[in-house]
Amino acid sequence: MMKIYFVRHGQTEYNYIGRMQGGKVDSPLTEKGIQQARTAGIMLKDTVFDRVYSSDLQRAMDTAKYIIDENKRNELVPVPEKGFRELYFGTWEGRYVEKIKEEKEFVHLRTSPQLYNPAAHGGESYPELIERAEKALFNIIEENSGAENLLVTSHGITITTLVRSLAGVPLENLRKGGIVENASISTIKVFQKEIEVLDFNIH
């Protein structure tokens, strides 16, 4: 049996000021975000991780490092994995949420994933996100067949979409209840190719 712990990155500067931050645009963790990451690390300090993976975006990589600092196995180095990047927002990347929040597709992004069509702004769809994130997940499961615990640091929409999709939640309901909080922990169990969601958005 393997457990995989997904942790969203800590609060970033763009989270704080309300700018879009997806699969390409990045910003550093705030002091609050660093503390959030350390707190997640303390919650997981007794979990012996066999390997640590992270979205290759710096906010997720830094979060992984702060978590590892608090862990018994603090010599681990996070392995970057592009498949765990945030949903790509195209030309919306870096824009202030306040400027686009009334646009139809932005409303769909937040409330109706099955209707969200990012073609006009060159973004990524929810089915595309699910496909790449699941591929990355199944790859690390295969690469670590004898492992007991893996850590993955990633992003709000990515973790929410991936974990809820694995739990069998239909596309139209993926965003109900919002997305996972900064530095929250969501856990899945993998046993003989069966996946069970154990925890979601714990913080």
Strand order in the sheet with 51-54: 79-80, 51-54, 149-154, 2-8, 185-191, 194-202
Number of domains in the chain: 1
Give dist(CA 181, CA 122) in Å, integer. Answer: 26
Cβ-based neighbours of 31, under 8 Å, separated by 6 or more: none
Give dist(CA 62, CA 67) in Å, integer. Answer: 9
State the pLDDT at residue 72: 85
Instruction: Measure the CA angle with vertex 10, ends 139 and 12; round to 5°.
Output: 115
The CATH number linked to 24 is 3.40.50.1240
DSSP element (H, E) containing 186: strand 185-191
- Check whether 8 is labelled as a binding-site residue: yes
- Check whether 9 is labelled as a binding-site residue: yes
What DSSP string describes 27-68? -PBPHHHHHHHHHHHHHTTT---SEEEE-SSHHHHHHHHHHH
DSSP label at 12? B
Q: Which of 31, 70, 86, 128 is catalytic?
A: 86
Domain coverage including residue 146: 2-202
CA atoms within 13 A on the CB side of 114: 8
pTM across the whole model? 0.98
- Check whether 160 is labelled as a binding-site residue: no
Encoded tokens for 9: 């990155």
Active site residue 81: no
Active site residue 203: no
CA atoms within 13 A on the CB side of 25: 18
Per-residue pLDDT of the chain (203 residues; tens, 9 = 90+): 999 999 999 999 999 999 999 999 999 999 999 999 999 999 999 999 999 999 999 999 999 999 999 998 889 999 999 999 999 999 999 999 999 999 999 999 999 999 999 999 999 999 999 999 999 999 999 999 999 999 999 999 999 999 999 999 999 999 999 999 999 999 999 998 899 999 999 99
